[in-house]
Amino acid sequence: MSWFQDSIMARKGAAKGEARTEHAITEESQGRYHYVYGAFAEPILAVDPGAVISAETHDAFEGAIKTERDLPSEKLNFPFLNPQNGPVWINGAEKGDCLAVHIKSIVPRGPQPRGTTVIMPEFGGLVPTADTALLTQPLPERVKKLEVDAVTGVKWNDRITLPYEPFIGTIGTAPEIEAISSLVPDYYGGNMDLPDVAPGAVIYLPVNTKGAYLFLGDCHAAQGDGELCGVAIEHPTVTTVQVDLIKGWTIRSPRLENESFYMTIGSSRPMEDAARGAYRELIRWMAADFGFEEIDAYMLLTQCGRIRLGNMVDPKYTVGASVLKSIAGTPR
């Protein structure tokens, strides 16, 4: 029996972590993709807990970068970037609940070379940006198209091939009253660009408004910590997730569980604030559900907490803080 049978999703979910219905979102059924996370858009689907949803995701550029001669500054039309599937209405979800999303698989789709990464002006971790606004000239634009294959990996050049390690770059629920760009990560999820949001994991998202409004997109074939130049190996996929609903479990920001660890996710600026937010929520979680005294959890994580840097390039930086299941023990 896999660890998933003991996951919080399986133990607390309304559907007990069972897959009950199947739903497909194709490019055609999706129609218009979305560029904001909010409850202003019409849901394209309403599902019960237990639904398994397969979505045809676009890459972050909606396929606009087709060759290495395409200039991002010409082909891209800010703010219409990072197209999202959804929203999916979750029947029964209300503010204060938790939406559990088990990532079942990510499969690349579309013609080769289907992977894309670019250098574009005012974006990236080692260049001046709209936020870190400097006077020096931007780097020249550049596009790299790559073959992406689930089995053989991501071919960088003749010598280097990276393993195919896909994850969902952007996933979340609607904020209560806002509609926020899909380029932004925050307490509701969004553009976290955190490689742990990968097949096998369960991500727990706060429900901020009736119906939850699940969005997802922006799958990456590979990404290093921080997504340094701002653009991972972007690629179109069929991404399959299973949703469940944990009534009355109110969380402030996304959490994640996989076979090995429990993780909390913070998005803020400066980066130390993202780390503080992630670690504080992890401590509070350990105190609420794992039987730790808060100060003891603080001292223990000092010795064994793990930090994963998601992005250092988006409007907020994202950090995951985690503790091994073998140390945390079993939640109540």
Out of 113, 176, 198, 289, point to the residue binding a second copy (CB under 8 A). Answer: 176
144 belongs to the binding site for a second copy (CB under 8 A)? yes
Out of 51, 53, 192, 229, point to the residue binding a second copy (CB under 8 A). Answer: 229
Closest CB to a second copy among residues 30, 240: 30
Out of 87, 211, 305, 331, point to the residue binding a second copy (CB under 8 A). Answer: 305
Other Cβ atoms less than 10 A from the Cβ of 45: the count is: 19
Shortest distance in whole angstroms from residue 137 CB to a second copy: 6
Number of H helices, E strands in the chain: 6, 22
263 belongs to the binding site for a second copy (CB under 8 A)? no
286 belongs to the binding site for a second copy (CB under 8 A)? no
2 belongs to the binding site for a second copy (CB under 8 A)? no
219 belongs to the binding site for a second copy (CB under 8 A)? no
Closest CB to a second copy among residues 98, 119: 119
Out of 51, 127, 203, 216, point to the residue binding a second copy (CB under 8 A). Answer: 127
Residues 32-91 contacting a second copy, CB under 8 A: 35-36, 38, 40, 79-80
CB crowding 163-179: b at 16 or more within 10 Å, else e: ebbbbbbbbbbbbeeee
123 belongs to the binding site for a second copy (CB under 8 A)? no
Task: In whole angstroms, give the CA distance from residue 9 to residue 4.
Answer: 8
Closest CB to a second copy among residues 90, 127: 127
Q: What is the dihedral of CA 312, 185, 105, 330, to 10 degrees?
A: 90
Closest CB to a second copy among residues 4, 156: 156
Task: In whole angstroms, give the CA distance from residue 4 to residue 11.
Answer: 9
299 belongs to the binding site for a second copy (CB under 8 A)? yes
Q: Which of 134, 92, 139, 94 is nearest to 119 (CA)?
A: 139
Contact between residue 221 and residue 128 where contact means Cβ atoms under 8 Å apart: no
Closest CB to a second copy among residues 59, 227: 227
Task: In whole angstroms, give the CA distance from residue 220 to residue 241.
Answer: 16
